[in-house]
Homo-oligomer: A and B are copies of this chain.
Amino acid sequence: MPDDDLPENTAPANCRVTIRDVARQTGVSVTTASRALNEIGRMTPETRNRVRAAAAELGYRPNSIARGLVGKRSFAVGLITNDTYGRFTLPVAAGLSSSMADRGVSVFLCAGEDDAERVKANIDAMQDRRVDGLVIAGKRIDRGLPFELPDLGIPVIYANASCPPDAIGFVPDDQLNAHMAVSHLVARGCCRIAHVTGKKDFEASSLRVRGWEEALAEANLSPFGDVCYGNWSEECGYTAALELLAPGRAEWPDAVFCGNDQIARGLIDAATSIGVDVPGDLAVVGFDNWEIFAKATRPPLTTVDMELLELGRVVGRTMLDLIDGKDVEPGLRRLPGRIVERRSCGGGGADLEPRTNETSRHGGGNQREDTKCHTTG
């Protein structure tokens, strides 16, 4: 037996409770209600509590649009990206999103293509929305926006993309990461370490090459042959392996540092197909820690994780600082990644899998045991 015709607990969603409602309910002014809710100004704890209680009871939630209008900010940032495939941007976006969410800042996703017009339209839309900041994310550290960004009057951070001289940017430290990968190989006794990577004109390629050379020099080793460039594909890894391990060669590498996990995958497949045991005869380290590949190789791949999620978080925290008006030194920061150990370099990490029994071309033993490594020094 309902009291009357009024619906009981289903307030029409389009007339949500406002701060006036909680002020009225509490018997204070809107001003006081606002202050109580925002924890500013001094007032008797009793008043504050009564306001809070009323807000809770009414289910009051501040309208962030109104708040944005008076505060002249939106508590939102725009994420502009051209990475439709999302492999690089997504972890960055997730990290950014989570570090901002804690402070009540939301993220607009503008997954534009490379088309300059669309990117501009997206940026305009973000300005119209008075975003507090803009993150420009890319899939290549040597590519940025297709045009120069004018001064928007809001903070801008570049993530995994190239950035103008005086801007703030964060990219993975390719050289250091490569160095780590190669040192990992050296530490495991490898001394004839080849490098198979992607396209030559990617800055990521040259930095990784430099890291490879650097780590080798540090260990008094010489590069094993020339860098093998390709197009980042599995196919290239496959072909490169066949060449590096060709029976007619005077010398075989005992390890290969690969520019990405797909290359490593192709390379391991090729090695296996011609009876070279990984890691017994050949240690392999990849790059990206793209699990779908890294875990599917046999053996599972030891590889470099660029820590893109953490990079996204750092971008978020920096953006928050910038929004708060803190000073941040301009420039490009290179962030270190980490090695994820699996089985392709011997030993084993978290993702241990039983070793296969395939017979090795070299009798199943570890070639490195038999061959004395001589340094260049």
A234 interface residue (CB < 8 Å to B): yes
Asked if B64 contacts A129 (CB within 8 A), the reply is yes
Task: Specify the chain B residue showing the minimal Cβ separation from A61.
Answer: B128
CA distance A130 to B94 in the complex (A): 22
Interface string of A120-139 (1 = CB under 8 A from B): 01101111111000000000
Instruction: Check A90/B97 contact, CB under 8 A, given A64-B129, A72-B14, A127-B61.
Output: no
A12 CB-CB contact with B under 8 Å: yes
Given A13-B151, A93-B111, A124-B61: A69 and B69 interface contact (C-beta under 8 Å): yes
A-side interface size class:
35 or more
Q: How far is the CB of A181 from the nearest CB of chain B, in Å?
A: 22
Chain B neighbourhood of A296, CB < 8 A: 233-235, 262
Residue A303 CB within 8 A of the other chain: no
Chain A, residues 100-133, CB within 8 Å of chain B (1/0): the string is 0100101111110000000001101111111000
CB nearest to A272 among chain B residues: B273
**Residue contact A14 to B153, C-beta cutoff 8 Å:** yes
User: Provided the pairs A13-B152, A151-B10 are in contact, do residues A97 and B125 lie with their beta carbons within 8 angstroms?
Assistant: no
Picked from B111, B130, B269, the residue with its CB within 8 Å of the CB of A63 is B130
**A154 surroundings in chain B (CB, below 8 A):** 13
Determine the residue in chain B with the shortest Cβ distance to A102: B121
Which residue of chain B is the closest to A79 with respect to CB atoms? B109
The distance in angstroms between the C-alpha atoms of A79 and B125, with both chains bound, is 18
Given A61-B128, A66-B69, A154-B13, do A262 and B109 touch, yes or no (CB 8 Å)? no
Whether B97 contacts A110 by the Cβ 8 Å rule is yes
Q: In the bound complex, what is the Cα–Cα distance between A90 and B128 (angstroms)?
A: 25
**B61–A65 touching, CB < 8 Å:** no
Q: Is A68 interfacial (CB 8 A cutoff)? A: yes
User: In this assembly, does A86 line the interface, its C-beta being within 8 Å of a C-beta of chain B?
Assistant: yes
**What 4 A-B pairs come out closest when comparing CB atoms?**
A13-B153, A109-B109, A86-B90, A65-B68
Please name 23 pairs of A and B residues whose Cβ atoms are closer than 8 Å in the assembled complex, sorted by A. Answer: A13-B153, A14-B72, A61-B127, A62-B128, A63-B69, A63-B128, A63-B130, A64-B128, A64-B130, A66-B69, A69-B69, A76-B129, A84-B90, A85-B90, A86-B90, A93-B109, A97-B111, A106-B126, A108-B108, A109-B109, A235-B296, A262-B292, A273-B273
